[in-house]
A = this chain, B = another copy of it.
Amino acid sequence: MTSRIDAIALDRADPLASFRDEFLVTDPAVIYLDGNSLGMTPARTVTRIHEVVTGEWASGLIGSWDRWLDMPQRVGDRLAPLIGAAPGEVVVHDSTTVNLYQLVHAALALRTDRTVIAIDAGEFPTDRYVVQGIADATGRTVRDGFVELGDVAVVVRSVVDYRTAAVVDVAAETARARAAGALVVWDLAHAAGVLAVDLGAAGAELAVGCSYKFLNGGPGAPGWSYVAAALQPHLRQPIWGWFAHVDQFAMGPTFAPRPDIGRLLLGTPSILALTAADEGIALSARAGILEISAKADALTAFALRLCDELGLATSTPRDPARRGGHVAVVHDDARTLVPALAARCVITDFREPDVIRIGCSPLTTRFTDVYDGLVLIAQLAADSSSSPADAGTDPAQR
């Protein structure tokens, strides 16, 4: 049986262990296993936001736009090596929902001879809703699943399943879609900053993602879009804003998009949100995506081993190459176990209908966190089976 000293040994041997010191830990008693939903706060973000508010905004005033104007592209370039993109292929702005809306529309404009958009019925809700809305507005049909692609215009697909953490083979599925004449818009929301996705090597052309999960960019941090360089000049997206104009301050009568990734920009982007995203992304870039991904593998492997030993069921793949940065514990009482865990300082999250997600965020999660969290889950689950009414209401254990 694995014991707590095994977890301690793994933490001591962890080459990324010191990165946790780069984050604010305000209550050491908290075991945070939800960095896959909202990443922790980099200490440097606190000082950098303060500098931007008091220096760049309060002192620099309107003149600071000289340095802010290209921030969506600069933060994009910082993110690029983490997802296998080249400089100039990524832009960070607005929300993932808006980014996805732009890219699905743009992809459809490149496949006007076809009317089907393929998406999985188990896909993350906002992706399905965005696709439904576009289909509704443009007379397209939504098809569930990816088996038949011969008449599909656009595939919308997550690299990492938000419940099970199952990973799709991006290169193989991009090639299969291309062979069938379909374009794929990849969603890396649950992949970026934890999995070594190499969009360039995979031949991926379009992708979106967020920066508030494993990239630690803060609550509601901006989304991002990736467009392969060769496709950029042909891309037309539907929301025509002045930040995308080739000569923005000429304020001319007619929209003419930039030739590059900047054509995806819309209105004035939030500089505070971009600043926090930049600091979070910078930490991951410093750690290196291969090192991050290796630690994610080790953490999730450790979690799966503990699940087996503790008798906890999981829907997360055993093959490390097919697994993202979290582990799904499946339990009938998941809905009540999650708040019961939180009442005991173990923070996870619940996903319908029966999943407790254990986030393994490589820069902040320790092996001891995974150990302590899963041991408590097993203990509460056992109590739950014997006494189903218990949901962390025992004051002695809070």
The chain A residues found within 8 Å of chain B, CB to CB, are 23-24, 26-27, 30, 32, 34, 37-38, 40-41, 45-46, 49-50, 53-54, 56-59, 61-65, 68, 94-98, 101, 105, 121, 124-126, 128-130, 132-134, 137, 210, 212, 218-223, 238-245, 249-255, 266-274, 276, 342, 347, 349, 351-352
Contacts and interface: CB of A to CB of B under 8 A. Distances in A.
A238 B125 contact: no
A395 B242 CA distance: 35
Nearest to A26: B59
B65 A38 contact: yes
Contacts of A49: 49-50, 53, 272
Given A219-B272, A242-B97, A40 B58 contact: yes
B30 A61 contact: yes
B63 A342 contact: yes
B50 A34 contact: no
B61 A32 contact: yes
B132 A255 contact: yes
Contact of A46 (B54, B130, B219, B274): B54
Contact of A253 (B26, B128, B271, B349): B128
A239 B96 CA distance: 12
B41 A57 contact: yes
B268 A68 contact: no
Given A49-B272, A220-B271, 7 more contacts: A50-B50, A53-B276, A130-B240, A132-B240, A212-B268, A251-B352, A270-B270
Contacts of A274: 220
B268 A132 contact: no
Q: Which 9 A-B pairs have the closest CB atoms?
A: A97-B267, A95-B267, A133-B240, A41-B58, A97-B241, A126-B242, A270-B273, A219-B271, A24-B58
The listed residue with most B CB atoms (<10 A of its CB), out of A23, A58, A98, A210, is A58
A267 B267 CA distance: 16
A128 B38 CA distance: 37
Given A54-B26, A101-B239, A268 B220 contact: yes
A57 B32 CA distance: 13
Given A38-B62, A133-B239, A267-B126, A57 B97 contact: no
